[in-house]
Structure 1
Amino acid sequence: MTPPASHDVPRESIDLQIADVLSAATYPANKDALVDAARDAGASNEVLAMLDGLPEQDYADLAAVTKLIGSNFGPGLGV
């Protein structure tokens, strides 16, 4: 199966959207940079809201963000 094109990001599950958006970000990144990367990637409003809810800090890598999103919004991401 062919992975969806970037313009199809909002049709992916929430975990996949977040993983796709965050893997494209340049680290270290602060919350605003992550939100901007998500918006540029065409992420859904739900993903944008989740990222906007993150604490104002620098994130060293993808794992640092997904761990925090998991603790704030559910069981975590299977990234």
Structure 2
Amino acid sequence: MKDITPQELAALIQKSKKAVALTGAGISVESGIPDFRSKGGLWERFDPLEYATIRAFKKDPAKVWVMLKEMDRILVQ
């Protein structure tokens, strides 16, 4: 991917219908979204090896959807 200026990035985002940004936990916590690894975090309740892999999804999609719905609930708060 070629380097682009912040202005070019802003223009791309403005033109898009939807945008997604993948960031680290620090920016999420600052926004009020709890991180997954802290006490009481998502990974304390859902083992990531059992819920957050493609293998887990192929084996038992309904089980993984339980975790994904909880993640959605956390993010929408």
- TM-score, length basis structure 1: 0.25
- Structure possessing the higher relative contact order (Cα contacts under 8 Å, 6 or more residues apart): 1
- The structure richer in strand per residue is 1
